[in-house]
Amino acid sequence: MRRWRRWLRAALLVWQEEGLMGVARYTARRAYLHQGFLLYQRDLSAHEAVPLPPALTLVRLATPAERNALLHAREDFAAASYWEVIQPDAECYVGLDGYRIVSVHWLSSNEESNRLVELGPEDFVIGPCVTASTHRGRGVYPAMIRALCADRYRKGQRRAYMVVSVHNAASIRGIEKAGFHCIGRADLRRVAGLQRVVRQPITAAP
């Protein structure tokens, strides 16, 4: 039931932006999918303080006003409006360069939000993540991950996970730079809304 509510909220947003044809395309993408993902893990007890890069002034939880603004985001953060709709219960971190939001990361401790990872009581999964095009390639992505991991460790959580497409080389580099190591691969197969996950352990990073 919760999955259908998330779909309905997202479909309403797509309808407002793209009309009925947009809803049809979105539904087709959600109904049929075959994609491979790499699963990454980091033990937060081994974290260390790393200074933020010059392009990133501050990392913190988003305010209610900022989360509301994400619902109407455009350009680089257009995808953020979709994630803010379907994951309203997830926590949202923003990275600022001065007063400007340049990166947005969601995280959740609820296994329902990401069926590719089995979460324990002290675990959480990071993602999705969005960085402004003006700040890509400047160390913002791994710095955001490290900063929010440090904050979650202070709040009592001990293990972080990330899930990334096997084809997303740039994100894989950033995740590994942030101290994560690959623990496996998951192949997600979805047909007519019925989902199956096949996990394969990895003993060495690919």
Q: Per this entry, what is the length of the chain?
A: 206
Structural domain span for residue 85: 32-201
Which pLDDT does position 192 carry in this prediction?
Answer: 55
Q: Which of 173, 162, 143 is nearest to 59 (CA)?
A: 143
pTM listed for this prediction:
0.77
Average pLDDT over residues 40-60: 88
State how many domains the chain has.
2
Model confidence at 157: pLDDT above 60: yes
Residue pLDDT, tens place only, 95-148: 999 999 999 998 988 755 566 778 888 899 998 898 998 999 999 999 999 999
Is residue 13 in a domain?
yes
Which pLDDT does position 82 carry in this prediction?
Answer: 62
Domain holding 171: CATH number?
3.40.630.30
Residue pLDDT, tens place only, 163-203: 998 889 999 999 999 999 999 888 766 665 556 556 666 65
Same domain assignment for residues 169 and 187 = yes
Mean pLDDT, the chain, rounded, equals 79
Cβ(131)–Cβ(140) below 8 Å: yes
Same domain assignment for residues 121 and 72 = yes
Which pLDDT does position 147 carry in this prediction?
Answer: 94
- Cα–Cα distance measured from residue 151 to residue 167, given in angstroms and rounded to the nearest whole number: 29
